Amino acid sequence: MNKSCYYLGSVNIVKNGRTYYGKARGKCKDCSKQFVFERQNLNLSQEQKKHIELLLLERISLAGICRVLEISAYHLYRYMDELFSQVPQDLNADVAAQALIRLSCYECESDELWRFVGFKANKQWLWIAQDRQIVALPLGDRGTAGAKGLWQNVPAHYKQRATFFTGDWQAYKGVIPPERHVATAKKKDTNHAERFFCTLRQRCARLVRKALSFSISAQRHLMPIRFFVANYNLSLLL
């Protein structure tokens, strides 16, 4: 029987009755959390963690991951939060190395992708700026505020040197400086960004159209996508 706190490892614990299922329950005086002494679900093994990292990059539901690996949703979400917190702010885009090359100009494509979060009326737009890798990935509405969020996330080197190709959408025109912006209705000028959105919808279950999978919060929506994009950017460097 475990005589220490499941979360903190502290031995400063007391008995705290029983659960609905009759299991003995304890409470930690240091972190104030409750736990059962005899847990059926043990901590994840290294092999299970590796499988989770790979499965999160494929179009499979979280419930499906739990069934395949025979783990609880609690352990899956806890390890997901740990993984997502380690995603670098630059999404592993090789911006620093490109800055050293000092090219005279870059060409970036920008576009936005729609999906609802929580309920169908809550529309959220994923904005991207793509050179070869994805260099910016904010979430917001489809108006000027969303475009400003995209521009704020673009690395400074791109703001100074890149030409941004976008669709003929008014929100871009009020945010991206005219000398750095080419608005066009031609699909060929943003086809790489649109092709990447196709990849996202095929690989991320929460982005699939007309499906049951969706995120319950903006954070739960954005963080898994950032995790996928960071790994996608790394794959382009191989």
Q: State how far the Cα of 231 lies from the Cα of 54, in Å rounded to an integer.
A: 10
pLDDT of residue 98: 54
Could you tell me which CATH number the domain at 95-237 has?
A: 3.30.420.10
Q: State how far the Cα of 123 lies from the Cα of 92, in Å rounded to an integer.
A: 28
Percent of the chain with pLDDT over 70: 92
pTM of the entire predicted model: 0.79
pLDDT of residue 185: 83
Extents of the domains making up the chain: 1-40, 41-86, 95-237
**What phi and psi, each to the nearest 5 degrees, are found at residue 214?**
-160, 160
Instruction: Give me the helices (H) in 56-143, please.
Output: 62-69, 73-85, 95-101
Residue 168 or residue 105, greater confidence: 168
Question: Which pLDDT tens digit goes with each residue over 127-159?
Answer: 999 988 999 999 999 999 999 999 999 998 889
Which range is least confidently modeled, 64-68, 83-87, 148-152, 206-210? 206-210
Average pLDDT value over all residues in the chain: 88
Three-class secondary structure of residue 34 per DSSP = strand
CA dihedral of 91, 92, 93, 98, whole degrees rounded to 10: 140
Residue 100 or residue 91, greater confidence: 91
